[in-house]
Structure formats: structure tokens, C-alpha cells
Amino acid sequence: MSNDWYPAELDGPEWVRPAEPPCPACPCHTLRVCTGKVWHLARPRHEGCPCEAAAIAADTPPASRQVTITVAGVTRTVTAQAPAVGFGAGLLLTPHVFAANGEHTTGPVPAAMVLAPATARTPADLIALCDKGQRWAVRLTASYGGREVAIGGWLDA
């Protein structure tokens, strides 16, 4: 049996669907998947796509906690951010309510405190308590201008 009757002009490479343009921000998906946020439909399912992680972080509002902190003998309760995902996840981030000094500062500068969950080794006088009853470690070093400063008290105390 011969295929001689087959028109010659249809010979050639098999028709291939044009490739979707890749996403410029991740190595795993096409642009259509990431701009449409349809990662759950992509096959195979990729774990750890940076576009998907960024979208989840953006859609998750940071929770806040009331945390009671004692610094320089003065105890106050402040509202701290408690991010569930992304930068600072698992930590408490206070507003800039502390006064700090560093070798590169002239006079006290406003500083925010980052509190990590307290451990068995956290000294009792460096423990802060949040409204969820969790114990947090007071951290008396902060960052100002990209360099370390020491928290010495409250800004307006």
C-alpha cells in the first residue's frame, strides 16, 4: 500500500502548538499561568514557585498582636505585626516606639523591635507577653541605617 495519493504540500514537520511564553519571574511556569494565578491548574504541580509564594504573601494580611514589653523599667503594651508568611513570619515586629543609639548615630533614633518566640534560655527580664499568652524574647538590638543600634528605652519616656 502506497501513500502516493497524499498531496505533497502536506508533507513536512508535524504541526506543533506554539509554545506559551515563559513567565519572566519564575523558572517553572508560563506567563499565562502566573498572570492568571492558576498555579493549581498547572501540570505538573510545582512546589515553591516564587510567583505563587509572592501572591500568597500579598493576599494574606499580616495579623497583629498586643504585646506587653518592659524596657528600661517601663512596661507598655504595643500593637505589633505578626506576619504569618513572608518577611518576618513567626516574629513580632513593633512600630518605631523605641529609642536606640549606635556608634553611627548622634542622639537617640527611633527603632522597631523584632521579637522571636522565647526559649527556655530567655532571661526572665527579657520576656514579653502577647495577648495570645505566648512568651516572646525582647531583643535590645535593632537596625538603623543598615547598622546595629542598641535599644535603650522608649522613645517618649
What are the residues binding Zn ion (CB under 5 A)? Answer: 23, 25-26, 28-29, 34, 49, 51
Please, which residue, 86 or 90, has the CB nearer to Zn ion? 86
Please, which residue, 25 or 74, has the CB nearer to Zn ion? 25
Nearest to 138 by CA among 109, 154, 117, 156: 117
Dihedral sign of CA atoms 116, 122, 124, 126 in order: negative
Q: What 3-state class would DSSP assign to 55? A: helix
Q: Measured from the CB of residue 42, what is the shortest distance to Zn ion in angstroms?
A: 8
Alpha carbon 77 to its chain's center: 24
Q: Measured from the CB of residue 43, what is the shortest distance to Zn ion in angstroms?
A: 13
Q: Distance between CA atoms of 29 and 39, rounded to whole angstroms? A: 8
Q: Measured from the CB of residue 50, what is the shortest distance to Zn ion in angstroms?
A: 7
Q: Measured from the CB of residue 89, what is the shortest distance to Zn ion in angstroms?
A: 20
Please, which residue, 32 or 147, has the CB nearer to Zn ion? 32
